Structure 1
Amino acid sequence: MSEVLSVKEKIGYGMGDAASHIIFDNVMLYMMFFYTDIFGIPAGFVGTMFLLARALDAISDPCMGLIADRTRSRWGKFRPWIVFGAIPFGIVCVLAYTTPDLSLNGKMVYAAVTYTLLTLLYTVVNIPYCALGGVITSDPTQRISLQSWRFVLATAGGMLSTVLMMPLVKLIGGDDKAFGFQGGIAVLSVVAFLMLAFCFFTTKERIQVPPSTTSMREDLRDIWHNDQWRIVGMLTILNILAVCVRGGAMMYYCTWIMGSPEVFVAFLTTYCVGNLIGSALAKPLTDWKCKVSIFWWTNAALAVVSVAMFFVPMHATVVMFAFIFVIGVLHQLVTPIQWVMMSDTVDYGEWTNGKRLTGISFAGTLFVLKLGLALGGAMIGWMLAGGGYDAAAKTQNSATISIIIGLFTLAPAVCYVLSAIIAKRYYTLKTPFLTKILGELAQGARRNQQEFENLPVSKELQN
């Protein structure tokens, strides 16, 4: 019988993602606006910088996964990276939100260097953290519960960051917004470090994997040959692209469409409350019905709601708040499920070829996730620049207004439609098949190992 995880350990694991979201959500929602309207960097350059830095960071993800898979310490494979990477990560966060008095070219170089370092150090902490969830337990029910706790707390961390950021900017900086942003992220970075330390001390790696005897090239080849991993990778890039584009456009939407930048914090609060409810609903709904069905139906509903938002009049504030709440519930409902699906592809890969590649599997997923972030950030910057966006203007031209509305509503809808179709048609690890896989793994069977084929227990399981 599998071990039932304690609430303390589930909270501890969730605290790790709460810390990540304190920084991740802040960067996703505020950094484009910070660079264009506070630091004074052109939107087109910021879009290109986001694309290149995140693409470089995405390339580093598999490397970090391979390193983590080969780590041996008394604390395990993944936990040491979480706590020892936290301090430099926090320092670079503050540097990224610092505005030195430089020429425009100097500002662009400074932003590119500090932002790239920020994304790379995020990788050092977050790749091992995500992989940790795959070795705490192998029980599907406990995994759903663990991931539900994770995303409830991740949502709370994101809410803490995004809702408190602007009040901290005002409190610390007053009229000096540049100093306020620097001080605000410094406070939040300290909180994130304490959460990561708590995660380290309260979690345990239970699934012990023998040291890898294969090369990194072989591991990369094996993970690419895992067809279900490729499907989850496609779903990941689509879903993060949807949330990145909408989140990045939200400040512009509140400022230029709704005409009230102050509404932004209320928007975020409403969205985050929806996120909390969505995360909490994931386990009971997946207890009731196969998680794959829940996943694709929810993505279909997200597409419908996103299209409906396009037709909301500019000043229909109450209606838009209702839509934002529903989007928050639905999006965060599928997020824990998607991460469990990633853990399932690790089991599937082990069942297929006898190799459990937890670190590189999650690193590969974060690779495509960051490609989605790169494309999303670049799309916003390039489209705003193409539409003639002017941060210093009193009003924006009609092309820019249409672009902001489209980014906030229709672009995410396209991503959700594609995600629903791909999950329904191509993802095969539904509950009955996964149960069979886990049963065979529990008996030590491997489909590609001839010596197991003649064992009676293996024949029973295959039948």
Structure 2
Amino acid sequence: MGKKKQKVLYDADGARRVMRKTDYMADMGGQLALGVMANLVGQLTYFYTDKVGMAVGGVGIAMMIAKIIDALTDVLVGNMIDHSKGGNKKYYSWMLKMAIPAAVIIIMMFTVPIQAGQTAALIYVLVTNLLLTAVIYTMIATPFSAVMIVRTHSQSERSNMGLFRAVGNYGAGTIIAIITIPVTNMLGGTQSAWIKYGVALALGVLLLFLICYNNGRKAKFASDYESESENASETAPAETEEEEAVPFKDAIKMLLQNKYWVIVLLFNLITNITAAVAAASGTYYAKWIFGNDNLVAVIGAAGMLATVIGFVVSKPIISKLGVTKTIQLGLMGAAIPSLIRCFIPENFMVYAATSLVASFIQIPLMCLYGVLTAMTVDYNEWKYGKKLVAMSGGAIGFGSKVGSGLGSVILSAFLAIGGYQASLESATASMRYSIYGFSNYLPLVVNLAMFLIFTRFDLEEKLPKMREEVLARKEKK
């Protein structure tokens, strides 16, 4: 008896559906692992200052230098990947190459040799942060971001991938926020306890990367089929077409002239800065404003309910409002809770409630990072005749890791300005206001600014006509 023929499905736009349930789960696992790496950066300032005993000013400088260097790597790696061969499978191969180095560097982040002195420790912090973000994370995240663009041509499947990746990324942030302090305190609260914690995270990240890679190497991409038209039947796989590489100088010029890519770049950067600051600031807020750093786990656990509800309603909200309006709602929804805390900064219930509202209302826009980038790739193809897939995908990688790192730098700067001293039993007035600054005032300002910037993003309504024009050009060739 012959093998049962799989039914071919198409979305409302006539694009072939190629994703399976296992694809979504494996993809989410890869993003979860990346999220753990990114969100660890947000916890490191507290670890360096309060657990290792490093000077807050020195930590801030080291993190800032790391991020300046790190900022250059995404587009460089993206251009390198765009110039490489191997078809669509090349986007997953980097995950296998970097899986073990990723696990090793996670452990090394906590083995700071403070006994060798402040200078040696700061050099170690700088080098390990560069290896984590500028090298290993970039080598995985940049091609992984491109997967969403080449894996499927179906906008609905891209949205679903965005939803699952958002679950993975937010799940990583939530896990790190909830368990880091209680677990490390349970293990003794020392640097040794954090190293043990790092080993557990490293093993989990390694496993997730290997599962994601194994699924990806066996997956079929949209380009593996000869036709995606509405009436297409099952066909034999077609050879993947390699896009002609664009020189780096020309490619970066094209991207910078694409205002939509620039807006998406800023969007990813700013939202990840605020997310990183929020994740790290909770510990400082709980310890110095409410007097108990374990309260951060209580807030995080309560936030799980809001998160689950947020993901459940994300797809209906996006379908109803569209991409642009969903993002504008999320940005404004994040600004209002911060405004409330500016006027009522010391009430625990107000802090907890506003944190939950902000988390819930931002979930839908977190599902759209990849969708936005895919839209800018379509615009590249319409305007330049080149997709620049991997370099365009660098917007997500740049925002995730550089945003997280800059969040730590900004947090360190606020603490240094406020004269932060971890050895005190209670916070000074300047320390309290510095915590209010990065926890309440900063999110208010940056979310309002991003809202204004995003009013210029009108690509969503233009795309259908652009895609028709691109298709017409291809048919003339």
TM-score by length of 1: 0.90
Deviation at 1:20, TM superposition (A): 1.0
Whole-Å separation in 1 of the counterparts to 2:276 and 2:182: 23
Deviations 1:287-331 (A, max 9, x none): 1122101111221121112111222251x3223222111111122
1:121-153 CA distance string (max 9 Å, x none) = 111111111111111112211111111111113
Aligned to 2:29: 15
Q: For the residues of structure 1 that align with 2:396 and 2:246, how far apart are their CA atoms?
A: 21
2:442 pairs with 1:428: no
- Report the alpha carbon displacement of residue 261 of structure 1 after superposing the two structures with TM: 0.5
1:317-349: CA deviation from partner (whole Å, max 9, x where unpaired): 223222111111122221112331111111111
Query: What is the alpha-carbon distance in structure 2 between the residues aligned to residue 134 and residue 76 of structure 1?
Result: 13
Distance 1:444 1:181 in 2: 58
Asked if structure 1 preserves the Cα contact closer than 8 Å seen for 2:317 and 2:364, the reply is no
What secondary structure does 2:242 align onto? Answer: coil
Deviations 1:259-301 (A, max 9, x none): 1111011222333443343233322112112210111122112
Q: Compute the displacement of 1:199 (Å).
A: 1.4
Q: What residue is the counterpart of 1:102 in the other structure?
A: 116
Q: Does residue 214 in structure 1 map to residue 246 in structure 2?
A: yes
Q: Which moved more, 1:7-16 or 1:230-239?
A: 230-239
Query: What TM-score does the superposition give when structure 2 sets the normalisation length?
Result: 0.87
Map 1:139-288; keep pairs closer than 5 Å: 139-171=154-186, 174-175=187-188, 177-203=190-216, 204=219, 205-207=221-223, 208-288=240-320
Match in the other structure for 2:388: 357
Partner SS, residue 212 of structure 1: coil
d(CA) in 1 for partners of 2:394, 2:330: 26
Instruction: Tell me: CA distance 1:87–1:75, structure 2 relative to 1, closer, same or farther (3 Å).
Output: farther
- Percent identity, aligned pairs only, is 22
| Aligned residue number for residue 88 of structure 1 | 101
Aligned pairs for 1:294-443 (under 5 A) are 294-314=326-346, 316-424=347-455, 426-430=456-460, 432-441=461-470, 443=471
User: Aligned-pair distance for 1:109?
Assistant: 1.6
List structure 1 runs of 4+ shifted beyond 6 angstroms. Answer: none
Question: 1-side partners of 2:183 and 2:88: how far apart?
Answer: 36
Residue by residue over 1:135-194, the C-alpha shift from the partner in whole angstroms, topping out at 9 and shown as x without a partner, is: 1112211111111111113222333333333344245xx335211111111111111111
Which of 133, 139, 164 is the equivalent residue of 2:148? 133
One-letter identity of the residue aligned with 2:98: G
What aligned pairs does 1:9-88 form with structure 2 within 5 A after superposition? 9-28=23-42, 30-73=43-86, 76-88=89-101
* CA distance in structure 2 between the partners assigned to 1:383 and 1:159 by the alignment: 24
Query: 1:365 & 1:22 partners in 2: Cα distance?
Result: 15
Q: Is the 8 A contact 1:137 1:206 kept in 2?
A: yes
Q: Evaluate the alpha carbon distance shift between residue 255 and residue 419 of structure 1 in structure 2; reply closer, same or farther with a 3 A threshold.
A: same
In 2, are the aligned partners of 1:275 and 1:332 still within 8 Å (CA)? Answer: yes
210-219 vs 112-121, greater mean Cα deviation: 210-219
Residue by residue, what CA displacement relative to the aligned partner does 1:51-86 show, whole Å, maximum 9, x if unpaired? 110221121111111122223237712100112211
Whether the 8 Å CA contact 1:246–1:408 is kept in 2: the answer is: yes
What do you get for the CA RMSD once the two structures are aligned? 2.1
Secondary structure at the aligned position of 1:414 is classed as helix
Moved more, 233-242 or 406-415: 233-242
Greater shift, 262-271 or 181-190, is seen at: 262-271
Q: Which runs of 5+ in 2 are unaligned?
A: 1-13, 224-239
Give distance in 1, aligned partners of 2:125 and 2:81.
29
**CA shift at 1:256, angstroms?**
0.3
1:240 is displaced (CA, Å) by 1.9
Greater shift in the superposed pair: 255-264 or 287-296:
287-296
Check conservation: 1:241, 1:412, Cα contact below 8 A: no
Letter in 2 for 1:291: V
Distance in structure 2 (CA, Å) of the matches to 1:23 and 1:52: 19
Counterpart among 321, 324, 340 of residue 292 in structure 1? 324
The aligned residue for residue 458 of structure 1 is none
Q: Do the aligned residues in 2 keep the contact of 1:23 with 1:161 (CA within 8 Å)?
A: no
